[in-house]
Amino acid sequence: MRFRHFALNNIRRNTYTYIAYFLSSSFAVMTFFTYLVFVFHPDILKAPVGLPASQGMEIAAVITFIFSFLFVLYSISAFLKARLKEFGILTILGTQRKQLNYLIFLENMLIGTAAVITGMFCGLLFSKLFLLFGENVLDLKLPMYVPMRAIWITVAAFMGLFLILSFMTTVFIRQRKALELVQGSNQPKKEPKASIWLAFLSVVSLILTPAFLLQGGMINIFFALLFDMIGLYFFFTQLFVVIIRLLKKNRRYSWYGLNLLWITELAYKMKDSSRMFFMITIVATMACTTAGSVLAFQRYIEYTYTENPFAYTVHYFDLKAEPDQKIIHVTEKLEQTLKEEGISYQKFPLKTVDIRFQHLGYLDLVRQSEYEEIAKTLSCPIISLQDREALFIPSNLAPIKEPTGTLTHLSFINQKLSSKIGKLKIKHQYTESLLQKEDLVVVNDQTYDQIIKALSSDHYTINQMDQYLIPKWNDQVLPDVNSIEVTMGLELANWEESFYKNDKVAQDGYIMSRAEDYYSFKQLTSVTIFIGVFIVAIFSIFIASFLYFKLFIDLQHDQRYYHELSKMGLSHKEMRRAATKQIAILFYIPLFFSGVQTLIGLSALNPLFPVATSTISTGLWAIGIFTAIQTVYFLIVRSRYLAQLKRVML
């Protein structure tokens, strides 16, 4: 028998152990290759968001490769640990270290080569579907092509990865003596120990994490992340051991039913894999937080469109054109386009002044006469205002602020306004998005003129705009790419863009289209989801594979353990209950902590969104989806693990 046949037979004999490693590595190669097929597509940059999509794919490919490196490194070291006894017997039988290292190197390279070939083959089959999905996201034709560059980069990257790690793992065996190899994982384990002080540090750090995070600011976020890392690490390495020790001392609980079986074994399993569980928690938190943020932003852009009653808003410049420049009137272009399409509209001129108020910041001051024209059409409240009285209209598209319902007066920051005008009494307030994200203060025309006169010696800016209401488009239905509103918005945006680099013309303003804004942001979020789905899939598969390896590496020990217990009368049903509790805790403890951390992190982001877009609800959705995926993996791993234990039961 040649040495290569011997290595191949070793892989066949350890099929149950290697299968998850092979499939996960193949999936990583497939994802990496599929990303590159998209990145190097010759037509990708023709789309408006083609460049950010391509750059996002490149980042995703790098993330996939980094996690593949960590995954393969852990997997190989875990497999070698499970086969130490086999290597020890080969050493005693006369196998030289050089031959043993070559055997390990050959096995890793055989599996790695098979994973690269399988992953790329599946990637080629999957690429067409991936490009079709990309066409819907980018609104661009992406035909299939021969991705030679993607093929060479994938082969070079992953074959290099398996080659480097194969050399690294030979060092792991080289440092062991023959007796240690023969004993392998059968060496008696010492009782897990923990420091009370480090366990206490874990509790304090986990308490300080949300305290810093909810305060906001970059410094506080940095300290929150620091304490989070410290708290989690010492939870799995120290605090969990202390908790298990307390459970064991509580005889009323630990001696009840089968509790003593799974509690005792769990202490050793958690201690041995504490760093792995720490990494799993961090990865799961990253995945859930990212998914929750993207879902929240998607809801936000949908809400921004449906709550904005005006299809177009023209903002005017304080234009100072050169003598040789031609003036382009954007209003004429917009109205001409609407007439050509036979679309009726209502036009509302509006002038606002940015005034800074105490506790509220800058608000837009509006004349009552201009507000009432809009209010009549939109059925908004019309309030009779006397001098120095105000109608306060916070925008429901603005980020969450301090509650304003108890405010009775608005106080100016400007000293001249405070002395000449005094305070504005809030006669009424309600929430509406009449000027997108801006909060409005409506005063009667006389008070408005008095404020402008008081500001005459100061620098101030009057914002002049025209808002266009198109009744037949205000049906609260989100537009698709083929709708007339989106088409017109994109055409107008392209028309404006054609003048940006032309020095011979000057525009007197710019057009804001709610449909064009919605469509552009929707494309960006779709690209993000498009990229993130595969990243989350990689994370979830790697997490499940880590836990799968941990259980099946300890399988021989667990089989002996339950075999001896079955001699003493342990039934098959009792074995299933004890083993299931162990597996469930290994799967769901990291997931529980990642869920808590995700909700804390997203609650810190919640003030950036309006009330209707709750990051907590989107975070719960993300956690629920991730938990459902992990539950599927849990059921698969549990069934296979229990089937292996059932074989040794009497």
Task: Give residue 256's pLDDT.
Answer: 74
Do residues 133 and 171 share a domain?
A: yes
Average pLDDT, the chain: 79
Q: How far, in Å, CA of 172 to CA of 108, rounded? A: 14
- Per DSSP (E only), the strands in 308-445 are 312-316, 326-328, 346-357, 361-367, 389-393, 409-410, 424-429, 440-443
- pLDDT above 60: residue 186: no
Which sign does the torsion angle of CA 81, 86, 90, 93 carry? positive
- Indicate whether 221 belongs to any domain: yes
Do residues 148 and 239 share a domain?
A: no
Do residues 224 and 244 share a domain?
A: yes
Residues 6 or more apart whose Cβ sits within 8 Å of residue 518: 301, 302, 304, 305, 478, 479, 486
Of 431, 464, 497, the one marking the end of a domain is 464
Do residues 30 and 67 share a domain?
A: yes
For a pLDDT cut of 90, what percent of the chain falls above it?
Answer: 4
- pLDDT above 70: residue 377: yes
Cα diameter, the chain? 103
- Indicate whether 165 belongs to any domain: yes
Of 212, 235, 250, the one marking the end of a domain is 250
Do residues 101 and 161 share a domain?
A: yes
Q: How far is residue 219 from each of residues 7, 212, 283, 301, measured CA to CA in Å? A: 53, 9, 23, 29
Q: What does the CA dihedral 170, 172, 173, 178 come to, rounded to 10 degrees?
A: 160
Do residues 80 and 23 share a domain?
A: yes
- Indicate whether 80 belongs to any domain: yes
Task: Give residue 184's pLDDT.
Answer: 52
Indicate the range of 5-14, 381-390, 403-412, 478-487 predicted with least confidence. Answer: 5-14
pLDDT grade, residue 532 (50/70/90)?
Answer: confident
pLDDT grade, residue 312 (50/70/90)?
Answer: very high
Q: How far, in Å, CA of 582 to CA of 432, rounded? A: 53
The predicted-structure confidence for 193-208, as pLDDT tens digits, reads as follows 778 888 888 888 888 8
* Residue 49: DSSP 8-state: T
The mean per-residue pLDDT over the stretch 351-355 comes to 88
Do residues 83 and 115 share a domain?
A: yes
Task: Give residue 54's pLDDT.
Answer: 74
Alpha carbon of residue 109 to chain centroid:
34
- pLDDT above 80: residue 238: yes
**Residue 90's CB: how many other CB atoms inside 10 A?**
18
- pLDDT above 60: residue 255: yes
- pLDDT above 60: residue 390: yes
- pLDDT above 70: residue 395: yes
- pLDDT above 60: residue 574: yes
Task: Give residue 610's pLDDT.
Answer: 64
The mean per-residue pLDDT over the stretch 67-91 comes to 71
* Backbone φ, ψ for residue 645 (5° rounding): -70, -35
- Burial label, 146 (beta-carbon count in 10 A; 0-12, 13-18, 19+): exposed
Of 250, 271, 286, the one marking the end of a domain is 250
Task: Give residue 396's pLDDT.
Answer: 79
Do residues 396 and 457 share a domain?
A: yes
Domain span including residue 391: 348-464
Q: How far is residue 341 from each of residues 134, 361, 468, measured CA to CA in Å? A: 31, 42, 15
616-629: b (≥16 Cβ within 10 Å) or e: eebbbebbebbbeb
pLDDT grade, residue 347 (50/70/90)?
Answer: very high
Q: How far, in Å, CA of 251 to CA of 234, rounded? A: 26
Task: Give residue 46's pLDDT.
Answer: 67
Q: What DSSP letter does each residue of 471-502 carry, written as one string?
A: GGG-SSPPP-TTSHHHHHHHHHHHHHHTTTT-
The predicted-structure confidence for 38-57, as pLDDT tens digits, reads as follows 778 887 766 666 677 777 77
Q: How far, in Å, CA of 178 to CA of 174, rounded? A: 10
Query: Smallest Cα–Cα separation from 166: which of 95, 115, 96, 117?
Result: 115
Q: How far, in Å, CA of 598 to CA of 575, rounded? A: 35
The segment with the largest mean pLDDT, out of 1-10, 441-450, 567-576, is: 441-450
Indicate the range of 295-299, 366-370, 426-430, 440-444 predicted with least confidence. Answer: 295-299
470: its two tokens? 């198109």
Alpha carbon of residue 624 to chain centroid:
14
| Bigger pLDDT: 5 vs 370 | 370
28-37: b (≥16 Cβ within 10 Å) or e: bbbbbbbbbb
* Residue 467: DSSP 8-state: E
Amino acid identity of residue 481, one-letter, is V
Do residues 123 and 48 share a domain?
A: yes
pLDDT grade, residue 152 (50/70/90)?
Answer: very high
170: its two tokens? 């030979």
- Indicate whether 163 belongs to any domain: yes
Query: Smallest Cα–Cα separation from 54: which of 78, 35, 80, 33?
Result: 35
- Indicate whether 622 belongs to any domain: no
Domains: count for the chain: 3
| Bigger pLDDT: 196 vs 500 | 196
Q: How far, in Å, CA of 580 to CA of 262, rounded? A: 9
pLDDT grade, residue 458 (50/70/90)?
Answer: low
Do residues 183 and 232 share a domain?
A: no
Do residues 164 and 194 share a domain?
A: no
- Indicate whether 195 belongs to any domain: yes
- Indicate whether 70 belongs to any domain: yes
- Indicate whether 424 belongs to any domain: yes
Indicate the range of 104-108, 263-267, 300-304 predicted with least confidence. Answer: 263-267
Give kind and range of the element (H or E) at residue 556.
Answer: helix 555-567
The predicted-structure confidence for 575-623, as pLDDT tens digits, reads as follows 888 888 888 888 888 888 888 888 877 777 776 666 555 677 778 888 8
The mean per-residue pLDDT over the stretch 547-555 comes to 73
Any bridge partners for residue 354, and if so which? 364
Task: Give residue 454's pLDDT.
Answer: 82
Q: How far is residue 146 from each of residues 124, 143, 151, 470, 650, measured CA to CA in Å? A: 9, 10, 9, 48, 58
Do residues 101 and 233 share a domain?
A: no
Query: Smallest Cα–Cα separation from 519: which of 296, 311, 293?
Result: 311
Length of the chain measured in residues: 650
For a pLDDT cut of 70, what percent of the chain falls above it?
Answer: 84
Indicate the range of 107-116, 123-132, 266-275, 506-515 predicted with least confidence. Answer: 266-275
